[in-house]
Amino acid sequence: MAISRIGALLVIGAGLLGAIAPAWAQSPGLYYAWRSVESDLTTCLDRSTAALTNGGLTDIQVEGNSVAGTTENSTAVFVCLENSEPTMVMIMVSSMDDDAAFELRETLKASF
Q: What is the pLDDT of residues 60-73, one digit of tens each?
A: 999 999 999 999 99
Alpha-carbon span 62 to 75, nearest angstrom:
14
Other Cβ atoms closer than 10 A to 53: 14
pTM: 0.75
Q: Any idea which architecture 28-111 has in CATH? A: 2-Layer Sandwich (3.30)
Give the domain ranges of the chain.
Answer: 28-111
How many residues in the chain? 112
Residue percentage of the chain with pLDDT more than 90: 62
Question: pLDDT tens digits, residue range 20-73?
Answer: 445 566 778 888 899 999 889 999 999 999 999 999 999 999 999 999 999 999
Residue 63 amino acid letter: E
Q: Among 24-33, 64-73, 82-91, 103-112, where is mean pLDDT lowest?
A: 24-33
Alpha-carbon span 20 to 22, nearest angstrom:
6
Torsion of CA 66, 26, 103, 42, to 10 degrees: 0
Q: Burial code of 31-45, b = ≥16 C-beta within 10 A, e = fewer? A: beeeeeeebeeeebb
- The confidence score (pLDDT) of residue 83 equals 79
